[in-house]
């Protein structure tokens, strides 16, 4: 599977990555070679095989809806790059 | 041997007899850190002050007649992707360079409750993506057996610290071999437990269906002791298994008679360094000498594990790492000088500046595999192969108690040797990856040397078969001298030492 430059640019936008021209070319070549290697999985017929999303037979794990201690607000906000009046601050959206 | 060279169980014995205090042991380990850290570079952050406080607290309790557990007062290191409240947790990434978690990981809480003395946070490949610790955004860690070689990865700092005596034991994480391969490269014991046995709450997520936390220790008894302390169900991790945890040290009988050992021929084929093959085959003969019943077997889908992993793991990573958006925590890029940016531009600049090349590569790969038009061809196909790999293991474990193989196809390699080609680097996990896909436990332990560099034997068991795993590993270990060897810290590092910043 050879990736085109356009595909790399499309995936970069989906992944929210701004790539330099150099990175685009490097990733195009490297991802192509990994995907070419991964092509071998198509040699197997898996039409009747169920996918494994998870190895444990656990499903819909739930617990009673009880109030518990929350994270300390100051310590949480202390990690924010920008904050104002007890909120996370982001660039203007509207 | 010096205090810093001893195992946790040896030190626990000394503490019990009053031959050493927790404070003395802690001093010995920090003295060792000061002595060798500029050559090894295992630590991102050292927490000396809180370590002495914890040690003194244990000594006080003991003086007052309390009998603390076997890990109380023993200095331990933590891989820097385990959240520690009040101590920064960087994942060796610029993205989290200044992140101070507001909570402790469950394993950290459990070890703290057991009286552990935490020495600090250990270097790793950025976000646990890599096999050499060269992907750390800060500095590479060196292999204590030869400073010109990599310690393995991604828990390279953890393995190197334990081997060099900079921590008595450490916790790491293993998504595709990240505990076992560095344990093998540094000549120590590393265990990846069954998926779900150890809580992942507070482990910075890489690939959630594959990640597991486990111990890196100097011998098998320490491994059992640490597993005792960290295993068990946790309501904070919905993938944590309600499995009753036994006392793992009760399996350390020294007996391996009658144990059925399978040797899959696919793990000894093309790509295996013949010198590693020879050492591992000798280890298997040793198991036979101990009375184990060894038989060759087949793992038909072995070759599909690596491509399957390099679709599933990046896919999960691309989703997990979407949270690094520069809003709630972590790095945020500034707008261009004097300018403004909108939200999307802020995201894109932040992620491009905050992540290193390997992390970007895997995010790109995973995003591609999950993107419209490719989901069925790559991701769904890989999930189906994962089923076939699990079935291979299920069939083998109907016949065998454990399966053995080399941990890594090669001995430790030099810095830069595999860094240029991602695919070549990925191949160094070819024997460890199938285990994570199947969710079974596996352990690496020292079984010899190639030109002075350690080689690891990998032992695999069925889900929740840690007891059997430890029993076989212990019997082997006690009949060999490799766990008693300590690294010489020889050779020249190829790069200049780096300046460290404080916690």
Which tokens hold the place of B110?
Answer: 């459990």
Residue B439 pLDDT grade (very low, low, confident, very high; cuts 50, 70, 90): very high
Lowest mean pLDDT among A55-59, A90-94, B110-114, B227-231: A55-59
pLDDT at A94: 77
Distance from CA of B452 to the nearest CA of A (A): 33
In this complex, is the C-beta atom of B243 within 8 Å of any C-beta atom belonging to chain A? no
- Mean pLDDT of the B188-208 span: 98
Q: Nearest chain B residue to A60 by CA: give it.
A: B238
- Mean pLDDT of the B248-256 span: 97
Tell me which chain A residues have a C-beta less than 8 angstroms from the C-beta of B383: 51-53
pLDDT, one tens digit per residue, over B253-302 is 999 999 999 999 999 998 999 999 999 999 999 999 999 999 999 999 99
Total Cβ atoms within 10 A of residue B403: 26
Residue B355 pLDDT grade (very low, low, confident, very high; cuts 50, 70, 90): very high
Cα of B96 vs its chain's centroid, Å: 20
From the list B103, B342, B364, the residue facing A12 with the nearest CB is B364
CB contact under 8 A, A91 and B238: no
Tell me which chain A residues have a C-beta less than 8 angstroms from the C-beta of B209: 53-55
pLDDT at B503: 43
From the list A8, A56, A91, the residue facing B343 with the nearest CB is A91
pLDDT at B313: 97
- Mean pLDDT of the B57-83 span: 96
pLDDT at A33: 92
pLDDT at B497: 56
CB contact under 8 A, A8 and B438: no
Total Cβ atoms within 10 A of residue A67: 5
Which tokens hold the place of B487?
Answer: 């690294």
pLDDT, one tens digit per residue, over B421-430 is 888 888 889 9
In this complex, is the C-beta atom of B371 within 8 Å of any C-beta atom belonging to chain A? yes
pLDDT, one tens digit per residue, over B401-422 is 999 999 999 999 999 999 888 8
- Mean pLDDT of the B425-446 span: 96
Tell me which chain B residues have a C-beta less than 8 angstroms from the C-beta of A71: 102-103
Whether A85 shows a pLDDT value over 80: the answer reads yes
Residue B308: φ, ψ to 5°: -60, -45
- Mean pLDDT of the B233-256 span: 95
pLDDT at B424: 86
pLDDT, one tens digit per residue, over B99-116 is 999 999 999 999 999 999
CB contact under 8 A, A17 and B348: yes
Total length of chain B: 503
Contacts with B170 (C-beta within 8 Å, 6 or more apart), sequence order: B76, B77, B78, B79, B122, B155, B158, B159, B161, B162, B215, B216
Distance from CA of B466 to the nearest CA of A (A): 16
- Mean pLDDT of the B227-246 span: 95
- The ipTM value here is 0.95
Q: Nearest chain B residue to A36 by CA: give it.
A: B307
From the list A30, A46, A88, the residue facing B327 with the nearest CB is A88
Whether B501 shows a pLDDT value over 70: the answer reads no
Residue B372 pLDDT grade (very low, low, confident, very high; cuts 50, 70, 90): confident
Which tokens hold the place of B101?
Answer: 């978690």
From the list B363, B383, B385, the residue facing A17 with the nearest CB is B363
Total length of chain A: 94
CB contact under 8 A, B363 and A15: yes
Residue B80: φ, ψ to 5°: -80, 25
Q: B436 and B174 in contact (C-beta within 8 Å)?
A: yes
Percent of chain B with pLDDT over 90: 92
Q: B96 and B30 in contact (C-beta within 8 Å)?
A: no
Percent of chain B with pLDDT over 70: 98
Residue B502 pLDDT grade (very low, low, confident, very high; cuts 50, 70, 90): very low
Q: Nearest chain B residue to A49 by CA: give it.
A: B384
User: Which of B364, B369, B383, B429 to mutate: most A Cβ within 10 Å?
Assistant: B364
Query: CA B236, CA B222: separation in Å to the nearest integer?
Result: 26
DSSP string of chain A? -PPPHHHHHHHHHHTT----HHHHHHHHHHHHHHHHHHGGGGGS--TTPPP-S-SS---S--------PPPPHHHHHTT-SSEETTEE--S---
CB contact under 8 A, A41 and B367: no
Which positions 180-199 of B are in contact with A (Cβ < 8 Å)?
Answer: 195-196
What is the average pLDDT value for chain B, to the nearest integer? 96
Residue A60 pLDDT grade (very low, low, confident, very high; cuts 50, 70, 90): confident
Whether B180 shows a pLDDT value over 90: the answer reads yes
pLDDT at B422: 84
Whether B201 shows a pLDDT value over 70: the answer reads yes
pLDDT at A8: 97
Kindly report whether the global pTM for this prediction surpasses the value 0.90.
Answer: yes
Q: B176 and B210 in contact (C-beta within 8 Å)?
A: yes
- Mean pLDDT of the A23-42 span: 93
Whether B203 shows a pLDDT value over 80: the answer reads yes
In this complex, is the C-beta atom of B342 within 8 Å of any C-beta atom belonging to chain A? yes
Residue positions of B annotated with a catalytic role:
79, 154, 178
pLDDT, one tens digit per residue, over B131-163 is 999 999 999 999 999 999 999 999 999 999 999
Tell me which chain A residues have a C-beta less than 8 angstroms from the C-beta of B340: 91
- Mean pLDDT of the B462-488 span: 97
From the list A18, A53, A54, the residue facing B352 with the nearest CB is A18
């Amino acid at each position: 599977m050879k990736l085109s430059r356009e595909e790399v640019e499309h995936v970069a936008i989906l992944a929210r990555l701004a790539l330099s021209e150099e990175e685009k070319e490097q990733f195009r070549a490297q991802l192509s070679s990994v995907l070419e290697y991964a092509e071998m999985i198509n040699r197997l017929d898996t039409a009747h095989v169920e996918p494994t999303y998870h190895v444990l037979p656990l499903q819909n794990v739930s617990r009673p809806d009880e109030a518990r201690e929350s994270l300390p607000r100051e310590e949480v906000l202390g990690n924010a790059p920008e904050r104002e009046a007890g909120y996370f601050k982001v660039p203007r959206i509207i | 041997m010096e205090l810093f060279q001893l195992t946790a169980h040896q030190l626990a014995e000394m503490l019990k007899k009053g031959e050493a205090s927790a404070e003395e042991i802690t001093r010995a380990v920090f003295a060792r850190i000061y002595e060798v850290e500029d050559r090894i570079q295992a630590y991102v952050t050292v927490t000396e002050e809180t370590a002495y406080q914890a040690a003194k607290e244990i000594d006080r309790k003991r003086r007052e007649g309390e009998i603390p557990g076997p890990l109380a007062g023993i200095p331990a290191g933590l891989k820097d992707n385990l959240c520690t409240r009040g101590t920064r947790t960087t994942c060796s990434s610029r993205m989290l360079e200044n992140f101070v978690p507001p909570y402790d990981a469950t394993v950290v809480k459990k070890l703290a409750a057991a009286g552990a003395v935490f020495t600090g946070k250990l270097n790793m490949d950025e976000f646990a993506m890599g096999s050499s610790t060269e992907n750390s955004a800060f500095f590479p860690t060196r292999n204590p057996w030869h400073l010109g070689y990599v310690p393995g990865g991604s828990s390279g700092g953890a393995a190197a610290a334990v081997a060099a005596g900079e921590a008595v034991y450490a916790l790491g994480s293993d998504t595709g071999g990240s505990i076992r391969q560095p344990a093998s490269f540094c000549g120590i014991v590393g265990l990846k437990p069954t998926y779900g046995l150890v809580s992942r709450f507070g482990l910075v997520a890489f690939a959630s269906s594959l990640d597991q936390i486990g111990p890196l220790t100097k011998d098998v008894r320490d491994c059992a002791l640490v597993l005792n302390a960290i295993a068990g169900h946790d309501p904070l991790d919905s993938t944590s298994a309600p499995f009753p945890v036994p006392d793992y040290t009760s399996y350390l009988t020294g007996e391996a008679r009658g144990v059925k050992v399978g040797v899959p021929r696919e793990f000894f084929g093309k790509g295996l360094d013949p010198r590693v093959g020879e050492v591992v085959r000798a280890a298997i003969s040793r198991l036979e000498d101990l009375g184990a019943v060894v038989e060759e077997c087949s793992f038909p889908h072995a070759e599909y594990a690596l491509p399957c992993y390099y679709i599933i793991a990046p896919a999960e990573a691309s989703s997990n790492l979407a949270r690094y958006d520069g809003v709630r925590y972590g790095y945020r890029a500034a707008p261009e000088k004097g300018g403004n940016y909108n939200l999307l531009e802020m995201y894109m600049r932040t992620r491009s500046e905050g992540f290193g090349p390997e992390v970007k590569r895997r995010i790109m790969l995973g995003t591609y595999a999950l993107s419209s038009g490719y989901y069925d061809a790559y991701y769904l196909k890989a999930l189906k192969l994962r089923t076939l790999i699990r079935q291979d293991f299920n069939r083998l474990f109907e016949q065998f108690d454990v399966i053995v193989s080399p941990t890594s196809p090669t001995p430790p390699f030099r810095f830069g040797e595999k860094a240029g080609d991602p695919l070549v680097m990925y191949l160094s996990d070819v024997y460890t990856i199938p285990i994570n896909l199947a969710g079974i436990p596996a352990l690496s332990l020292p079984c010899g040397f190639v030109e002075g560099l350690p080689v690891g034997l990998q032992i695999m068991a069925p889900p929740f078969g840690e007891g059997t795993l430890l029993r076989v590993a212990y019997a082997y270990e006690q009949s060999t001298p490799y766990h008693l060897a300590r690294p010489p810290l020889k050779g020249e590092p190829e790069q200049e030492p780096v300046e460290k910043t404080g916690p």
